[in-house]
Amino acid sequence: MLNIRKFAQIVILLIVGGLSLVLAGGLLKGKIVKKSQEAPQPESSQSEMKLTDIEFTEMEQGKQFWTLRASEAVYFHDRQMTKLKSVHLTFHLENDEGEVILESSEGVLYSGTKNIELRKDVRATLPRGYVLLTDSADYDHLRRMVSSESAIRVFGPGGEVDGSKWEYQIGSRTAHLAKVKASLIMSKLRLGKN
């Protein structure tokens, strides 16, 4: 009888010990899972917002200064930038003197400065029927200037001009070209007001 009693005590101790091990293992596993869930995730530069068919208008003194349209806009908060596709940027000139329209396949709008980069197949439609083609152009909002360090081609009434770079001052509506090669038909040029 003593053997049965010792045997029963050993079995009970083994059961209690086994349950204790299972319980301790469960608690330990729960803490490990909880810690892995609480581990800080590295910040990624993934977009925070994606919009389609957007339009943004910059107003100055109650008038439209420029309007930006894009088929897609992907905003990155950590870099304060918005990547754009199928970009259409229109500068509204003062005194109803027309518009300057820039179009490109891709672009970037920088939120803090309102500077805009245009990339791939940039086309600028200028007043008086002139068109400029280049690979890239940059708009500097503070200086109110569009520029390109890429080779350019301008064509329109009266001729064609090739250059190595270009700057267009929006306020004064003046352009500066570098290393120019021109083919002009003087009688068809539109240099002033018609």
Candidate from 26-30, 88-92, 103-107 with smallest mean pLDDT: 26-30
HEC string of the chain equals: CHHHHHHHHHHHHHHHHHHHHHHHHHHHHHHHHHHHHHCCCCCCCCCCEEEEEEEEEEEECCEEEEEEEEEEEEEEHHHCEEEEEEEEEEEECHHHCCEEEEEEEEEEEECCCCCEEEEEEEEEEEHHHEEEEEEEEEEECCCCEEEECCCEEEEECCEEEEECEEEEECCCCEEEEECCEEEECHHHCCCCCC
Per-residue model confidence (pLDDT) at position 189:
55
Average pLDDT over residues 27-35: 49
Per-residue model confidence (pLDDT) at position 72:
94
* Tens digit of each residue's pLDDT (9 = 90 or more) over 155-191: 888 788 888 988 988 888 888 888 888 776 666 555 5
Q: What is the CATH number of domain 49-185?
A: 2.60.450.10
| Alpha-carbon span 69 to 87, nearest angstrom | 6
Query: Which of 142, 125, 123 minimizes the C-alpha distance to 134?
Result: 123
User: What Å distances lie between residue 92 and 95, 97, 164, CA to CA?
Assistant: 9, 8, 27
* pLDDT, greater one: 163 or 40: 163
How is the chain split into domains, by residue range? 49-185
* Tens digit of each residue's pLDDT (9 = 90 or more) over 44-68: 456 578 888 989 888 888 888 899 9
What band does 71 get if pLDDT is binned at 50, 70 and 90?
A: very high
* Tens digit of each residue's pLDDT (9 = 90 or more) over 114-167: 999 999 999 999 877 889 999 999 999 999 999 999 999 988 887 888 889 889
Asked if 77 and 62 count as a contact pair (C-beta separation under 8 A), the reply is no
Average pLDDT over residues 28-36: 48
Per-residue model confidence (pLDDT) at position 174:
81
